[in-house]
Amino acid sequence: MSKVMTATEAVADIPNGASIALSGFGVSHRYPSTLITALRDAGPTGLTVYCNGLGQPGFPTGTLLADNHQISRLVTCFSARPGFVSEAEKQIAAGEMELEMVPQGTLVERMRAGGAGIPAFYTPTGYGSAIAEGKDIRYFDGRPYVLERAITADYALLRAQRCDHMGNAVFRGGSANFNVSFAKAARIAIVEAEEIVETGQIAPQDVDLPGVFVSRVVPITVRMDIKNLPMRANRPATSSREYAGKPALTREQIGRRVAALLPDSAIVNLGAGLPTQVANFVSARPVILHSENGMLNYGEFARGDNFDPDYHDAGGFFVTLRDGASFFDSVTSFEIARGGRLYAVVLGTYQVGGNGDLANWSAPGQIGGGIGGAMDLAAGAQRVIAMCEHTDSKGNPKLLDRVTFPVTTPGCVDFIVTDLALLRRPSRAAGARFVLEEIAAGFTVEEVLAVTGMTVDVAADVGVMQENWI
């Protein structure tokens, strides 16, 4: 029996108050735009939506549902992004939409658990942050873990490259991400596919999601215009700030110094924003880059229009692949992270505390914020490297004795690399202080300390950052 139907038919029975798991990554990557548009047109209200984020406003992403005032509760990893205020943020601020923030790895694991009939589990992710407030904390082998409840949904709206009439689905490149766990957690999973083939034309070993988890299959008729998507405004990688009237390292050069900290054969995750610069300086070395959306061993940025839309990092940049690359879903990606297989994670940050606290998911004035995978990554990686400019745009120090922004993960930061300095914390033991080991050429230790808000030790022989990069 064929499961193929139109998008209008596939969403026709979604009632008011339904819960929906909505796939799609970042602001633009592989949203089920055909199904979202059909659901917008069908008009059910009071929806609970589970998603990584609602996507780019003005495009056929989950933002269509928010713009149409169909969402009453949003459970997401990204409720706000720098540079604009979305319709969803306005509704949350007005009390029209309830918000629950959830770490990315926890979201997919809660979905996986829901689909597997497991009611709850303990995870190290989120401990010490606002995400853990009111939740049961248990200690296993001396380490704290947070109780998280499984998620099941009435419907899942998904996107695949190929499907057959039985619903067997194939995902392409880094686009499996949330689709697999969301499908398993849903009572009715609806998949839109770029190509629909007769049953038997997909080899059994090529099936990424068995048809037993898929109820309906829809041909894609609405697509994102990836090449003309407006990207968030970022300062050029070659730009730099001035301190004491002198230029510091550029964003590109900060990435170059971080790359030199990574040994050959290390498996490393690069967070969104500034850390993505590191990829361009390890491409010729045997450093294996990992991405939350489900990629291992990718390379530098793709240039111009010469990119594959299914090859992108967690920050949304299109990337190249290296020999030996592999793809998988986000459940597997976070198994790599929380399972301790990452040598390091490099994360951008708003603030770092002298005790190693990382604060990078929410800033004053934001409605929620953007947790993404940072909490899972910081909880599981062997080393955490915080990468940022030394001060914010108003000249306030980002390195403080105590952070004032919401904590992402307490006591996790081992290295700080800024446009002025490299600092190392010799251990994560209580009381261990960061040591200033290198400064940017042209600056003195005193000038760097003058814009540093945390108490640090100074190495006996302070090096120069430019002399220690690749």
- Per-residue model confidence as pLDDT tens digits over 165-216: 999 999 999 999 999 999 999 999 999 999 999 999 999 999 999 999 999 9
* Domains assigned to the chain: 7-222 (3.40.1080.10), 241-468 (3.40.1080.10)
Q: Which of 335, 344, 343, 295 is nearest to 319 (CA)?
A: 295
* DSSP-assigned beta bridge partners for residue 422: 417, 438
Q: Taking Cα atoms as reference points, which of 191, 173, 178 lies closest to residue 104?
A: 178
User: Rounded to the nearest 10 degrees, what angle do helices 104-116 and 330-338 cross at?
Assistant: 120
pLDDT category of residue 233 using cuts at 50, 70 and 90: very low
What pLDDT shows up at residue 234? 54
Report, in angstroms and rounded to the nearest whole number, the Rg of the chain calculated over CA atoms: 22
234 or 287, greater pLDDT: 287
Going by DSSP bridges, is the β-strand pair 457-464/351-353 parallel, antiparallel, or unpaired?
unpaired
Q: Among residues 394, 414, 395, which one has the least CA distance to residue 352?
A: 414
Give the bridge partners for 71, in sequence order: 47
**Residue 198 a catalytic site member:** no
From 87, 89, 109, 292, active-site residue = 292
Task: Measure the CA–CA gap between 334 and 356, rounded to whole angstroms.
Answer: 23
- 169-170 and 153-164 strand pairing: antiparallel
Contacts of 418 (CB under 8 A, 6+ apart): 249, 254, 387, 388, 389, 390, 398, 399
pTM value is 0.95
Average of per-residue pLDDT across 108-136: 97
Q: Is 25 exposed, middle or buried (0-12, 13-18, 19+ CB in 10 A)?
A: buried
